[in-house]
Structure 1
Amino acid sequence: MIQARRAADAFSASRGSAPHGVWSAPGRVNLIGEHTDYNDGFVLPFALPHRIAVAAAPRSDGVLSVATLGDDGRLRQAAPIAVADLEPGAVTGWAAYPAGVAWVLRDEGVAAGADLVVAGDLPAGAGLSSSHALECAVALALLGLAGRSPDDEPGRAGVARWVRRAENDFVGAPTGLLDQTASLCCVEAHVLFLDVRSGKAEQVPFDAAAHGLEVLVVDTRSSHSHTDGGYGARRAGCEEAAGLLGVPALRDVPPDGLADALDRLPGRLRPLVRHVVTEDERVLRAVEVLRAGGLADLGPLLTASHASLRDDYRVSVEELDVAVAAALAAGALGARMVGGGFGGSVIALVPVEAHGTVVRAVLDAFAERGLPVPRTFTGVPSAGAGRDF
């Protein structure tokens, strides 16, 4: 609610009137299941308490006007553009994300102009899905101004697909459905077990504190981007491998058929396939662990996921590896990078009493290497996107 009030106050101060409403959406931590979403696989995210809020009011001239409130309290105004003129390439930089959502919604019958003022406390480039939180909040705001609810047809899952289209086709980032769905559909005190292919979702209770544990998030301040070539190259490699194997997606390679599948592929594609197949299995095992109440047993799965992302998928960087190694050496039960990679954040499953020790070990390890001071906080499963007021 703090970010919603900031957005509303900034709107009123800059526009001279109160907004019609304020909508917000959270970032996410993916407990496990990385690079599996665009392979039709399984993911297990939860929403963070950190949010992006959008204060909005309708315009009668068909123009989309977007401003964002910086940490310094100043508004950064993007160039206004007519919704009718939106097309890929017409808007660049941060404003492409809200513009892309308006572009998609125009095809869904929501084509009116709007004034939007954005505020939030999700760090950009931290691998915590700040761009998707922005897009989801904008989608709910534009729908709300049109008198539509995200729970109306096609529902939140459908809105997630609209946001993915904005990200893929307007912004140019070849992301899957994980982040949008998490931001829109997660609920407090649960992780979301999602079968991306079928859309089947299960809210699995997740109370780390009841087990004397916490999910420590380490923002390494090594910024990443999904619009560079590394992410897209790996997605293309997965699609090529699936084609060579004659399956719709890598999700269809069974674990007991992995060795045979790898023998049929060129060497450059084998590590990608090995990661996706084994990561899907780790997600399914993690869900079994949570259902059985053995939260501490998640630790080895998290660490194995990081090793696979580092060695097979090759999306880790020094900062992520340093944070994982330091956390494990200081007593974390498991740790791994989260997000698309090439920078961003790490999560560690930590006994509550070891919080200070693990944080200090991570800070010391970064200082010894001359790396930027990371930011740490406890990730608590929180509510998904909605209207604040």
Structure 2
Amino acid sequence: MGVREGFEELYGTAPEGVWAAPGRVNLIGEYTDFNEGFVMPFALPHTAVAAVSRRTDGVLRLHSADIEGPVVELRVDELRPLSDTGWAAYPAGVVWVLRDAGHAITGADLYLSSTVPTGAGLSSSAALEVVTALALNDLYDLGLTRPELARLAQRAENDFVGVPCGVMDQMASACSAEGHALHLDCRDLSIRQIPFDLASQDLALLVVDTRVKHALGDGAYAERREGCEEGARQLGVSHLRDIAYEDLQAALARLSDERLRRYARHVVSDDHRVDRVVALLDAGDVRGIGPVLTEGHVSLRDDLRISCPELDLVVETANASGALGARMTGGGFGGSAIVLVEASDADTVMKAIEEAFGAAGFTAPRVFPAVPSAGAHQVGRSAS
């Protein structure tokens, strides 16, 4: 049953419209977004889909087809940050942020369903936030731009849910273009769509979901962020993005401890890796980004220390089996890795990874191709 039919069955009337927002994979640039640096995500074909109608009585009703339980019913004027409402906190947080920004949201009915894997580092939460923000923007004629919607969705996650994420995930969900990677400057939110058509090059990018669940609210992410902010303070800059790659070694010598040095080295070098990937893609050398991906994984594993045995096994096995490069993607401590392969080698590499997981006694991973897809969009609007 689709969300439109589910909405009608649950709420007894047709929705005003249906919207979709994708999850994302980040090609390169990890933990650089909250350092006001550079990232290069792209949208997946996996989406959160929402059937939505406005209400005028101040009631917000939320239902997920994917989660057992009754309709979550809240009052928009009683929404409070950090009140534990489970999955419903993500769409409810968007309503709270919009109202806090002065937009007269008088209630809504939402019926949601998502194909974005949860806990896989593919931004299932951002997809939920962005699809809610886009639907309310359209229904209430708020006139907000895509970057503005992404900023509001980020604030919902930061201030309402309590996860101190950067803006990359929401920007990727809101602004991506089919067949392109999104080169994003996280300081001014300027974007450039960079062609990333793997099929035309006889290449594939595999996503390997290790099925190791991560929870970014558990403090490890926040600790990295705090360390990056402390490093910037000690270096006298607003964010680590302001340290030029050429000045990295001199900057590291000025930091007080090894932990801050590791974090700063990762962020500055990953910003530089984004620049290198952009240059390679501009030159048409898609295969050339493979070693840069692997280099990024080593930095995430050794300097940021956010990898895990399953992610390391994916990268090691993929590269030993003929992949062009591989790295973990997303917040870490589990989740997914990406693997760049010749299309003709995809099955061989996939099989090697699955066998390695079996031999190690790990849960079998979920492997699928990542196809650069469209950002958030309206699927259909009911005639009024």
TM-score range, shorter chain: over 0.9
Partner of 2:28: 32
Residue by residue, what CA displacement relative to the aligned partner does 1:263-301 show, whole Å, maximum 9, x if unpaired? 111222100000001000000000000000010000000
Q: 1:78 offset after TM fit, Å?
A: 4.5
**8 A Cα contact 2:82 2:162, kept in partner:** no
The answer to whether the aligner puts 1:52 opposite 2:43 as a matched pair is: no
Which shifted more, 12-21 or 344-353? 12-21
**8 A Cα contact 1:51 1:120, kept in partner:** yes
* Pairs within 5 Å for 1:297-316: 297-316=288-307
* Pairs within 5 Å for 1:155-234: 155-234=145-224
**Helix, strand or coil at the partner of 1:222:** coil
Which shifted more, 58-67 or 128-137? 58-67
Partner of 1:63: 59
Alignment partners' CA distance in 1, 2:34 and 2:363: 32
The answer to whether the aligner puts 1:144 opposite 2:138 as a matched pair is: yes
Q: 1:75 offset after TM fit, Å?
A: 5.5
**8 A Cα contact 1:32 1:283, kept in partner:** yes
Partner of 1:245: 235
RMSD: 1.2
**Helix, strand or coil at the partner of 1:166:** helix
Q: 1:110 offset after TM fit, Å?
A: 3.3
**8 A Cα contact 1:91 1:99, kept in partner:** no
Which of 3, 10, 21 in structure 2 is aligned with 1:7? 3
The answer to whether the aligner puts 1:334 opposite 2:330 as a matched pair is: no
Q: 1:142 offset after TM fit, Å?
A: 1.8
Q: 1:60 offset after TM fit, Å?
A: 2.6
Alignment partners' CA distance in 2, 1:132 and 1:184: 9
Letter in 2 for 1:164: Q
Which of 123, 131, 136 in structure 2 is aligned with 1:129? 123
Alignment partners' CA distance in 2, 1:42 and 1:21: 34
**Helix, strand or coil at the partner of 2:323:** coil
**8 A Cα contact 1:222 1:344, kept in partner:** yes
Alignment partners' CA distance in 1, 2:261 and 2:83: 38
**8 A Cα contact 2:157 2:165, kept in partner:** yes
Alignment partners' CA distance in 2, 1:40 and 1:6: 39
Partner of 1:291: 282
Q: 1:230 offset after TM fit, Å?
A: 0.3
**8 A Cα contact 1:84 1:111, kept in partner:** no
**8 A Cα contact 1:190 1:381, kept in partner:** yes
**Helix, strand or coil at the partner of 2:216:** coil
Alignment partners' CA distance in 1, 2:353 and 2:245: 35
Alignment partners' CA distance in 1, 2:284 and 2:104: 45
Q: 1:79 offset after TM fit, Å?
A: 2.9
Residue by residue, what CA displacement relative to the aligned partner does 1:50-74 show, whole Å, maximum 9, x if unpaired? 000011112232111101012xxx7
Identity of aligned residues (%): 52
Q: 1:162 offset after TM fit, Å?
A: 0.5
Alignment partners' CA distance in 1, 2:68 and 2:263: 42
Residues 382/23 of structure 1: CA separation in 2 closer, same or farther (3 Å cut): same
Alignment partners' CA distance in 2, 1:319 and 1:78: 37
**Following TM superposition, where does structure 1 have runs of at least 4 consecutive aligned residues deviating by more than 6 angstroms?**
none
5+ residue gaps, structure 1: none
Partner of 1:107: 100
5+ residue gaps, structure 2: none
**Helix, strand or coil at the partner of 1:388:** strand
Residues 78/312 of structure 1: CA separation in 2 closer, same or farther (3 Å cut): farther
Residues 184/259 of structure 1: CA separation in 2 closer, same or farther (3 Å cut): same
Q: 1:306 offset after TM fit, Å?
A: 0.3
